[in-house]
Amino acid sequence: MINRILVIAMFFSSFCFGQGSENKEIEKPIRDLFSAMKNADPDLLKSTFAETAVLQTITKGGVVKTDSINDFISTISKASKGDLDERIIVESINVDGELASVFTPYQFYYKGKFSHCGANSFQLVKQNDKWKIQYIIDTRRKENCENIK
């Protein structure tokens, strides 16, 4: 009986540890994205995206605006280090094989001043044993912003 309990406990603990490790791997390109923005690092920024990545924003009235990843990278590279600071909370991560979905509420600061808040929805794919951002869609607003550190 004790052996059976030990085997179950070992299985459960390895499952929990594996999930935490996988989540860190999934979060890495997202964390790198915001680090690249904060440091105005176009090379790190580019490395976070899959080759066919899509970037969209939901504007007022529910209109979906699509932006070019290359234009986004170009804009970030023109910023000064420290100008762009997006603070996120990883609220949920869902995984099925080589697909992950991550939801992150955020607050955005420009040159140290609050600009806006919203939420990001990331879709990531695992390619060549690395997670890459395939799709981002976000919302942007200036009201009802919770304090995200």
pLDDT at 28 (0 to 100): 98
In a domain, 102, yes or no: yes
pLDDT value for 17: 40
Would you say residue 12 lies in a domain? no
Q: How far lies 94's CA from each of 45, 50, 121, 123, in Å?
A: 23, 19, 11, 10
Nearest in space to 131 (alpha carbons), one of 2, 6, 21, 1? 21
Are 54 and 72 spatial neighbours (Cβ–Cβ below 8 Å)?
no
Residue 16 falls inside a structural domain: no
Question: Do the domain assignments include residue 94?
Answer: yes
The candidate with the shortest Cα–Cα distance to 25, out of 144, 135, 143, 126, is 126
- Residue at 7 is within a domain: no
This prediction's pTM = 0.83
pLDDT tens, the chain, 149 aa long: 454 443 344 333 334 444 578 899 999 999 999 999 999 999 999 999 999 999 999 998 899 999 999 999 999 999 999 999 999 999 999 999 999 999 999 999 999 999 999 999 999 999 999 999 999 999 999 988 876 65
- Let me know if residue 121 belongs to a domain: yes
The domain of 36 spans 22-139
What would the 3-class secondary structure string for 93-119 be? EEEECCEEEEEEEEEEEECCEEEEEEE
Residue 11 has what pLDDT? 38
Decide if 1 is inside a domain: no
Do the Cβ atoms of 88 and 102 come closer than 8 Å? no
Q: Which residues contact 12 (CB under 8 A, 6 or more apart)?
A: none
Helix (H, G, I), strand (E, B) or coil at 59: coil
Q: Are 57 and 119 in contact (CB under 8 A)?
A: no
Number of domains present in the structure of the chain = 1
- Tell me, what CATH number does 70's domain have? 3.10.450.50
- pLDDT for 143 equals 86
Residue 115: inside a domain: yes
Rounded Cα–Cα distance for residues 115 and 127 (Å): 34
